[in-house]
């Protein structure tokens, strides 16, 4: 029997041109182990995508057999040392989306898993084929433990037991009251081999990095322990925890501002906590940038952050001018046309019928007097001219009412300076500008970058309040924070960006998909919008309940009445000038008369 087997193997190795020593009887194409591995991988892996096959160089016996009957396309990745660049190269090209590994040594397995964990960001589907006969469940347990500690949970172990039976096993990390249960669970054909394992945490913790940032995240500590978080994003986190039946474990709670970075292995802030795997998830959600994308695992877009510039409200101007030009005037060119046509017709009448009109009927003067509402004695013998004047009086009657109404209206409404047209226009009119850190990136290499003041998140509130109170500062901020203050501040039309905000998760976190699914379902159901539109964010900035009171019309202020006195004074000045001119004119006339 043995000779037959060896013969078979010899024939087999000449047929296949692989360089492995293929004298492992249990690892041929016809062996149960390989048949099962091929069956499982071809069932669960998509043949249109490339499957990554990994083994330790020169030490695997089964790869050969597998490759001969696996129907999909593969990329081969034998590895020699931890520093082997081949595995890292695969990450750049094909990735590890569907990976099969042939193991025969636990220590080697530990090394390769560490390496894979280091390079991938998204959880993968992983099939592990144990080449050696497995004699106890403990062996499986050890392999599973290594896999789980390196963040892979979608695992199927294909192993041949000492009974000759080939078994499929996996594990459920949160089960039987344990948060890290590595006991192998055997599977049967027909069962889902890649079931969801993180849809119920059984009260195991999700490690959370908090960045205290009103109104998104507020922290409520009891006896020095944070048991729940509030704020918009905090509420969402609590919903996620409830849905997944998980508990909250806060790994860090910064209250001082910035998200942090992870550059060249140097971690700072909350992002750093994710990149160094101290935490699983970070709240609040924030804008996705390239830097963040490369070191974290962002969730579905959770809501859209509309970032715009916000400045103080428009200031009042030109008060003293109001009496002449009420800004809401209803005067049109038609009014002028009526006046001119009246003048022309009146003059024509006087010219044509001088015997019926007196020389003292000065049309210009008298019609003006009528406009002012003064009484004028105007009766001529010309029926036509009289009628014209009556019509003029009729016109002036409406005109005056119109003007008075406009004037009162103008006195009651403030005249505002023109709004900021663009950020370029605005920066020339303010004392300073700035905003959250992430916005600077949008203004890289523009003149705006230089004086941009980076404001830590926890100081935004202070700045918004100061702008509300009239400080001449321009702030780049999430519009959700100032929406309800819109009547009291200026929000520039043009957006800086409308980017999706995401929750950030630890790269490679196996539960990321389930958390993301919850977030996605919350977005779809509109829960997020509901929470975000909770109309009390102005309370955060101003403790005012009477925010709407200014919509009620207010009386005319005395300072506004002043404008009428300015008008009076101006008229006096005009009169004085006319008087002087008349006196001069008269003197000239007298002199002329004397000379003659």
Ligand X SMILES: *[C@@H]1O[C@H](CO)[C@@H](O)[C@H](O)[C@H]1NC(C)=O
Q: How far is the CB of 47 from ligand X (least distance, A)?
A: 10
Stretch that binds ligand X, among 20-28, 379-387, 434-442, 508-516 (CB under 6 A): 20-28
Largest Cα–Cα separation, the chain: 157
- Residue 238: both structure tokens together: 């609590």
Stretch that binds ligand X, among 18-26, 149-157, 527-535, 547-555 (CB under 6 A): 18-26
Stretch that binds ligand X, among 74-82, 231-239, 342-350, 398-406 (CB under 6 A): 74-82
* Residue 93 touches ligand X, criterion: CB under 6 A: no
Sorted by sequence, the CB contacts under 8 Å of residue 384 that are 6+ apart come out as 349, 353
Q: Which one, of 390, 377, 380, lies nearest residue 354 by Cα?
A: 380
* Residue 80 touches ligand X, criterion: CB under 6 A: yes
Cα–Cα dist 157/132, whole Å: 12
Touching ligand X, residues 29-68 (CB under 6 A): 39, 42-43, 57-58
- Residue 398: both structure tokens together: 């409406």
Q: Which one, of 364, 335, 360, lies nearest residue 347 by Cα?
A: 364
* Residue 85 touches ligand X, criterion: CB under 6 A: no
Stretch that binds ligand X, among 77-85, 436-444, 546-554, 574-582 (CB under 6 A): 77-85
Answer for which of 81, 138, 276, 330 binds ligand X (CB under 6 A) is 81
Place of tokens 């490759």: 67
Stretch that binds ligand X, among 24-32, 191-199, 223-231, 340-348 (CB under 6 A): 24-32
* Residue 91 touches ligand X, criterion: CB under 6 A: yes
Measured at the CA of 446, the angle between CA 444 and CA 452, to 5 degrees, comes to 70
Cα–Cα dist 508/512, whole Å: 8
Cβ proximity to ligand X, 130 vs 307, nearer residue: 130
Q: How far is the CB of 550 from ligand X (least distance, A)?
A: 33
Touching ligand X, residues 494-553 (CB under 6 A): none
Place of tokens 């918009």: 232
Cis peptide before 386 (omega within 30 of 0): no
For the purposes of burial, counting CB atoms within 10 Å of the CB of 555, is it exposed (0-12), middle (13-18) or buried (19 or more)? Answer: exposed
Cα–Cα dist 183/199, whole Å: 19
Answer for which of 133, 248, 384, 547 binds ligand X (CB under 6 A) is 133
Cβ proximity to ligand X, 189 vs 398, nearer residue: 189
Cβ proximity to ligand X, 164 vs 553, nearer residue: 164
Residue 217 DSSP one-character state: B
Q: How far is the CB of 416 from ligand X (least distance, A)?
A: 39
Q: How far is the CB of 41 from ligand X (least distance, A)?
A: 9
Instruction: Lay out the site mask for ligand X across 228-247 (x = CB under 6 A, - = otherwise).
Output: -----------------x--
Q: How far is the CB of 243 from ligand X (least distance, A)?
A: 10
Residue 116 contacts residue 103 (beta carbons within 8 Å): no
Answer for which of 255, 268, 361, 472 binds ligand X (CB under 6 A) is 255
Q: How far is the CB of 84 from ligand X (least distance, A)?
A: 9
Residue 157 contacts residue 140 (beta carbons within 8 Å): yes
Sorted by sequence, the CB contacts under 8 Å of residue 99 that are 6+ apart come out as 51, 52, 53, 54, 116, 124, 125, 126, 127
* Residue 3 touches ligand X, criterion: CB under 6 A: no
Answer for which of 3, 85, 107, 264 binds ligand X (CB under 6 A) is 264
* Residue 256 touches ligand X, criterion: CB under 6 A: yes
Q: How far is the CB of 92 from ligand X (least distance, A)?
A: 6
Cβ proximity to ligand X, 35 vs 560, nearer residue: 35
Stretch that binds ligand X, among 76-84, 301-309, 331-339, 538-546 (CB under 6 A): 76-84
Q: Which one, of 457, 507, 523, 116, lies nearest residue 293 by Cα?
A: 507
Q: How far is the CB of 202 from ligand X (least distance, A)?
A: 4
* Residue 276 touches ligand X, criterion: CB under 6 A: no
* Residue 83 touches ligand X, criterion: CB under 6 A: yes
Cβ proximity to ligand X, 82 vs 365, nearer residue: 82
Residue 357 DSSP one-character state: S
Sorted by sequence, the CB contacts under 8 Å of residue 305 that are 6+ apart come out as 286, 287, 478, 480, 497, 498, 499, 500, 501
Residue 358 DSSP one-character state: -
Residue 413 contacts residue 328 (beta carbons within 8 Å): yes
Binding residues for ligand X, how many (CB under 6 A)? Answer: 31
* Residue 265 touches ligand X, criterion: CB under 6 A: no
* Residue 107 touches ligand X, criterion: CB under 6 A: no
Q: How far is the CB of 161 from ligand X (least distance, A)?
A: 10
Cβ proximity to ligand X, 42 vs 380, nearer residue: 42
* Residue 119 touches ligand X, criterion: CB under 6 A: yes
Stretch that binds ligand X, among 17-25, 327-335, 389-397, 547-555 (CB under 6 A): 17-25
Sign of CA dihedral 394, 396, 400, 402: positive
Cβ proximity to ligand X, 136 vs 387, nearer residue: 136
Q: How far is the CB of 518 from ligand X (least distance, A)?
A: 14
Residue 227 DSSP one-character state: E
Q: How far is the CB of 492 from ligand X (least distance, A)?
A: 32
Q: Which one, of 441, 482, 451, lies nearest residue 464 by Cα?
A: 482
Touching ligand X, residues 288-317 (CB under 6 A): 294
Cα–Cα dist 475/92, whole Å: 40
* Residue 269 Rama label (left phi>0; alpha psi -120 to 50; beta): left
Q: How far is the CB of 432 from ligand X (least distance, A)?
A: 25
Touching ligand X, residues 164-223 (CB under 6 A): 164, 189, 200, 202-203
Helix (H, G, I), strand (E, B) or coil at 535: coil
Sorted by sequence, the CB contacts under 8 Å of residue 494 that are 6+ apart come out as 308, 422, 423
Answer for which of 6, 7, 11, 25 binds ligand X (CB under 6 A) is 25
Sorted by sequence, the CB contacts under 8 Å of residue 452 that are 6+ apart come out as 433, 434, 435, 439, 440, 443
Interacting residues with ligand X (CB under 6 A) = 14, 17, 24-26, 39, 42-43, 57-58, 80-83, 91-92, 119, 121, 132-133, 164, 189, 200, 202-203, 245, 255-256, 263-264, 294
């Amino acid at each position: 029997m043995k000779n037959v087997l060896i013969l078979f193997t010899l024939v087999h190795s000449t047929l296949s041109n692989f360089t492995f020593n293929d004298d492992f009887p249990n690892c041929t194409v016809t062996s149960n182990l390989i048949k099962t591995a091929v069956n499982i991988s071809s069932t669960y892996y998509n043949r249109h995508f490339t499957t990554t096959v990994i083994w330790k160089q020169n030490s695997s016996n089964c790869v050969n057999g597998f490759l001969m009957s696996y129907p999909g396309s593969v990329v081969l990745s034998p590895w020699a040392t931890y520093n082997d660049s081949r595995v890292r190269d695969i990450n750049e090209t094909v990735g590890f989306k569907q990976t099969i590994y042939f193991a025969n040594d636990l220590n080697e397995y530990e090394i390769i898993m560490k390496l894979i964990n280091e390079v991938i960001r998204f959880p993968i589907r992983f099939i592990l084929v144990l080449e050696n006969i497995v004699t106890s469940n403990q062996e499986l347990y050890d392999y599973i433990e290594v896999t789980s500690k390196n963040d892979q949970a979608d695992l199927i172990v294909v192993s041949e037991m000492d009974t000759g039976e080939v078994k499929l096993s996996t594990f459920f990390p949160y089960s039987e009251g344990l948060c890290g249960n590595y006991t192998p669970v055997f599977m049967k054909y027909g069962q889902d081999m890649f079931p969801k394992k993180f849809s119920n945490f059984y009260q195991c913790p999700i490690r959370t990095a908090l960045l205290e940032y009103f109104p998104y995240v507020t922290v409520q500590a009891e006896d020095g322990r944070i048991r729940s978080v509030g704020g918009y994003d905090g509420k969402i986190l609590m919903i996620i925890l409830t849905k997944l039946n998980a508990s909250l474990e806060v790994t860090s709670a910064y209250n001082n501002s910035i998200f942090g970075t992870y550059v060249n292995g140097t971690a700072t802030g909350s992002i750093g906590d994710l990149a160094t795997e101290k935490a699983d998830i970070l709240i609040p959600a924030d804008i996705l940038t390239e830097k963040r994308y490369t070191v974290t695992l962002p969730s579905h877009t959770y809501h859209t952050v509309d970032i715009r510039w916000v400045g103080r409200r428009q200031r009042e101007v030109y008060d003293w001018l109001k009496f002449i030009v009420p800004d809401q005037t209803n005067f049109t060119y038609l009014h002028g046309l009526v006046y001119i046509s009246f003048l022309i017709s009146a003059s024509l009448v006087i010219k044509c019928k001088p015997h019926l009109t007196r020389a003292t009927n000065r049309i210009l003067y008298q019609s003006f007097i009528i406009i002012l509402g003064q009484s004028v004695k105007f009766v001529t013998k010309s029926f036509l001219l009289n009628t014209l004047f009556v019509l003029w009086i009729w016109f002036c009657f409406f005109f005056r009412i119109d003007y008075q109404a406009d004037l009162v209206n103008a006195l009651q409404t403030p005249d505002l300076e023109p709004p900021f047209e663009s950020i370029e226009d605005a920066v020339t009119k303010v004392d300073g500008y700035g905003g959250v850190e992430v916005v600077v990136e949008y203004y890289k290499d523009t003149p705006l970058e230089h004086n941009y003041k980076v404001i830590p998140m926890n100081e935004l509130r202070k700045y918004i309040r100061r702008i509300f109170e009239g400080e001449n500062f321009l702030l780049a901020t999430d519009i959700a924070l100032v929406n309800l203050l819109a009547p009291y501040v200026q929000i520039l039309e043009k957006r800086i960006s409308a980017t999706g905000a995401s929750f950030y998760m630890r790269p490679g976190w196996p539960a990321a998909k389930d958390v993301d699914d919850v977030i996605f379902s919350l977005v779809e159901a509109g829960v997020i919008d509901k929470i975000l539109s909770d109309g009390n964010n102005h309370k955060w900035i101003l403790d005012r309940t009477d925010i709407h009171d200014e919509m009620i019309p207010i009386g005319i202020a005395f300072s506004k009445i002043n404008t009428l006195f300015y008008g009076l004074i101006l008229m006096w000045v005009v009169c004085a000038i006319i008087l002087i001119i008349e006196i001069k004119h008269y003197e000239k006339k007298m002199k002329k008369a004397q000379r003659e």
